[in-house]
Structure 1
Amino acid sequence: MKTGATLRAVMTALGGPVTGLITAPDGLDVELRAVVIAEPGDPVGPGDLVLVAGARGEVAVPVIEAAAGCGAAAVAVKGEPVEAMRQAGIAVLGIDPDARWDQVETLARAVIEGGGDGPGGHQDLFSLAQTVATLTGGAVTIEDTAHRVLAYSESDDEVDELRRQSILGRNCPEPYLAHLREWGVYQRLWAGEEVVDIAERPDLGVRRRLVIGVHAGNRPLGSIWVQEGRAPLTGHSAETLRGAGRLAALHLARLYGGTATARAGEDLAVGLLTGGFDSEGLARHLGIDPAAPTAVIAVDLRERPDRSWLELRRTQATEIISVHAAAYRRDAMVIPACGFIYILLPDPARATLPAWATDVVAALRRHLGTPVQAAVCGVAAHVSEVPRAKKEGGKILEIIASAPERLVATLAEVRSSIVLRDMLNVLRDSGLHDPSLDALEPELAHTLLAYLDAFGDVATAAEALHVHPNTVRHRLRRAGATTGIDLSDPEQRLVAMIQLRLGS
């Protein structure tokens, strides 16, 4: 029986300090049993996460090799990675040179000590806390109804004394609790989904906070707190907290019981996308009305590093998307599958879908630094039509892959491009073509296609090619002399355009 946390969970919870995964020979699901800060020569034990504090870069290699020889599970190191690290036979994490080892140890230890809850327990709460901190720009804690701190985000020196005491004592200090009760904060928290804004109190040494209650129906489960630092919280912090509160309710429900059932539900949700099961029965099992219209959105991170690092990035992206989706629709589902991340939104406000998807992609690009793109696949009238919409999403993402500056596309916007691509594929497979066009050298072919795409407007074609209009005219005369094409003949123009697109 596992008693620790996985490397994946610790990396997700650490967030910013992790600059990269240098190597993970056994994958991200290796179990961590303890965390130690080690100087060269210090003893380590089996299953340890070893934080190499006394050496960097190549100098750290002997420490890494020694940790591997003692059966440690993973090593975290600062400095430039070297090839010898990848050959040590142990997972190695890169850590930001400016990160403090004591903060890395504190957060990693909290996740590992809470790891006995398994998937969906404390590990998910730490991940959620870090995601909320990323999206709001604040320092986050998640508490239960007894004011015990269950999870918290990475933080810097901008935290106040209340946060320090709460994390060190794993409980909100009683004097501040008395003030919160006096101000009626908890009465408002337990009444619904209000985001309560608690003003800064310099006399108490307490900075401004936003807080929301976490509920399962009418039953309070806990609360999420965001402390403001020197910079103000982001403008969408309240909306982020509403989404996080809905997600936290699922995590806390798992923590208090039902983890296996919740995980199985997530696995079954993939069946809605593939259509390999009884869609209506599966939807009802997951609490979705099968007859309700459901919007399908596909997200591609557009990142292809090594597999383990991509898995971590997808986990982080899924958490960010989940917060946004839960704020948009309480019953939204976010499903990583088939290399993409899919969002299912029952009863959507159709007119707002592209704008909402654009906001989500912009947030992902901002916080992950990846050229994310999304496809608004359409709205399935019935849950049985979700797989069809999923397939359309893959086609949309293929079309816009060549335009990385584009964040989001809808099916209506690229439908013609999809149909044209499919038609060209049929023609390519048939072998039909005009052999006279085969004689065109690449420069002439490129110019002729630009001219045809510009409806015969030489000036527009020249602008697209970044050449003088006379250069375009000269090349067109050469193309005509080479192929015998008559550009005044509409059928010859059509054949040339199709064949040149096939060649491109």
Structure 2
Amino acid sequence: MSESIQTPFQDFFDTPEGLADRIAEVLGFPVTIEDANHRIVSYSKHEKHVDDARSATIMQRKVPDHVVNGLWKQGVMSQLFETSEPIIVDSIEHIGLSNRLAIAVRKHNDILGFIWAQSNDTPVTPEHLQQMKDAAQMVSQHLLRQQAKKRKTEENQKEFFWQLLSGTLRHESEILHHAKRFDLQLAGPLCVVVFAFPEDMSHSIERHANYLTKTMHQSKVISRLFDDNQLVLLLNTKDTLHAPTVVQGFIRDFIQKMKERFVMEEMAGVYGLLYRSPEYIRDSYRQALKVLELKEQFPHPLADITGYEELGVYQFINELAALQKREQYRNEKLERIKQYDIDNRTSLYETLKTFLMQNSNVHQAAAQMHIHTNTLNYRLKRIKEIGNIDFKNPNQKTMLYLDILTEQTE
């Protein structure tokens, strides 16, 4: 019978604190063990010459955001994600990080956590590298035990999230009863955020997206799930007055970071209305999906829109179009202008559309069409005559605008 291979860390498996101390003793460097979201699992004690990044990490029980961001910008995190070997990290002064030896703790391709050893000015030897690999194997076993406990909870939590999104759970008392089982804080303002990727997500993209949602701190991500090419999140923001701005910032930063790490220009992020009661999570989800649908339908006017509340009349444009179709409605003023264009080979309908889309601003509309303002004013005069249109009548002008929009849904 072959003997099992012993490592210097074998006797310290059951205690993460003891394991960190033992790794530090073997390497001769201060050591920090983190989970995949940069929260401290354990750290070695009684060290000297600790740098600012390590001190702040220990104080906060997690790696500070500016340190994580700096590591990504320097390509350190990308290296750790892509290799199972230890890497040598040169000092990064502006984030308070001295020389490091680091390794990602893995189970196959999945990142379980990280080990960081502060090497300072001590040369890293091949023996150090092997010791880090041995340490990663032992830490992997500990983190896997932690994950096994979490996995069942996360699966049940995902089921609970689907129940909220689908409206299966509708009453607040029932929702809060289930939320308590998972220690989820559903006090508002709450909203659903949906990120749509250009295609079904690869394991690598899903892994990075999941990592980002757990390490960005503008808003608290309560629940998350992947659905085909979409990442669906339930967000809780603390600041009621500026909550939409906070959500927009979260979406903007997430997309920017994903684009920095992957080439994906068509990625979109949207959100539904914010509610103070979990009863309306289903509505926020449906609204977010509607924003995605309308952005695809009206890509240019809605290019910069992320939230349902920003849609304005576009919220109801498809419903209005369906009603008009049912009633065989046609705007006679627009029909006369379109017929005039056909008979005379003019473009008065497009002129009117651009004018209304530019909020009746003659200078902006003329610039959009690359014509002189005098030319535009002449065309508007002809439009008023042909269509019997009064541009000073807000009701009439609003109806023209809506009818032009609904025609784009056909």
User: Shorter-chain TM-score category?
Assistant: 0.5 to 0.7
Match of 2:389 in 1: 486
SS in 1 for 2:315: helix
Distance 1:312 1:493, change over 3 A: same
Separation in structure 1 between the aligned mates of residue 387 and residue 58 of structure 2, nearest angstrom: 80
Separation in structure 1 between the aligned mates of residue 370 and residue 144 of structure 2, nearest angstrom: 59
Separation in structure 2 between the aligned mates of residue 496 and residue 417 of structure 1, nearest angstrom: 14
Match of 1:465 among 363, 369, 374: 369
Q: Which runs of 5+ in 2 are unaligned?
A: 1-14, 32-43, 68-87, 92-96, 106-111, 120-139
Q: Establish whether residue 501 from structure 1 lines up as the match of residue 401 from structure 2.
A: no
Q: Establish whether residue 282 from structure 1 lines up as the match of residue 173 from structure 2.
A: no
Match of 2:224 among 334, 344, 348: 334
Match of 2:323 in 1: 426
* Contact 2:89 2:100 survives alignment (8 Å): yes
Name the % identity.
15
Separation in structure 1 between the aligned mates of residue 30 and residue 117 of structure 2, nearest angstrom: 17
* Contact 1:485 1:492 survives alignment (8 Å): no
Q: Which residue identity lines up with residue 318 of structure 1 in the other structure?
A: A
Distance 1:298 1:404, change over 3 A: farther
Match of 1:359 among 240, 253, 257: 253
Match of 1:298 among 182, 185, 193: 193
When normalised by structure 1's length, the TM-score is 0.48
Match of 1:38 in 2: none
Separation in structure 2 between the aligned mates of residue 479 and residue 254 of structure 1, nearest angstrom: 71
SS in 2 for 1:334: strand
* RMSD, aligned α-carbons: 4.6
Separation in structure 1 between the aligned mates of residue 222 and residue 27 of structure 2, nearest angstrom: 36
Match of 1:384 in 2: 279
Q: Deviations over 1:209-266 (max 9, x none)?
A: 499xx9xxxxxx97553999xxxxxxxxxxxxxxxxxxx9x97455454534433333
Q: Establish whether residue 270 from structure 1 lines up as the match of residue 147 from structure 2.
A: no
Distance 1:501 1:380, change over 3 A: closer
Please state how far the C-alpha of 1:429 moved relative to its aligned partner. 3.6
Match of 2:334 in 1: 437
Please state how far the C-alpha of 1:462 moved relative to its aligned partner. 0.9
Q: Which residue identity lines up with residue 258 of structure 2 in the other structure?
A: L
Separation in structure 1 between the aligned mates of residue 228 and residue 168 of structure 2, nearest angstrom: 14
Q: Which runs of 5+ in 1 are unaligned?
A: 1-142, 149-170, 215-220, 229-247
* Contact 2:157 2:223 survives alignment (8 Å): no
When normalised by structure 2's length, the TM-score is 0.58
Please state how far the C-alpha of 1:390 moved relative to its aligned partner. 1.2
Q: Deviations over 1:132-186 (max 9, x none)?
A: xxxxxxxxxxx965659xxxxxxxxxxxxxxxxxxxxxx9585424555552679
* Contact 1:297 1:376 survives alignment (8 Å): yes
Q: Establish whether residue 346 from structure 1 lines up as the match of residue 236 from structure 2.
A: yes
Separation in structure 1 between the aligned mates of residue 59 and residue 373 of structure 2, nearest angstrom: 70
The within-5 A match list for 1:219-238 is 224-225=115-116
Q: Establish whether residue 176 from structure 1 lines up as the match of residue 31 from structure 2.
A: no
The within-5 A match list for 1:149-168 is none
Match of 2:209 among 318, 325, 342: 318
Distance 1:453 1:209, change over 3 A: same
Distance 1:264 1:210, change over 3 A: farther
Q: Which deviates more, 416-425 or 262-271?
A: 416-425
Separation in structure 2 between the aligned mates of residue 313 and residue 501 of structure 1, nearest angstrom: 40
Distance 1:453 1:319, change over 3 A: closer
Q: Deviations over 1:329-362 (max 9, x none)?
A: 6663222247532222335334233323322222
* Contact 1:396 1:410 survives alignment (8 Å): yes
Report how many residues are paired: 303
The within-5 A match list for 1:12-91 is none
Please state how far the C-alpha of 1:423 moved relative to its aligned partner. 3.3
Q: Which residue identity lines up with residue 176 of structure 2 in the other structure?
A: E
Q: Which residue identity lines up with residue 372 of structure 1 in the other structure?
A: M
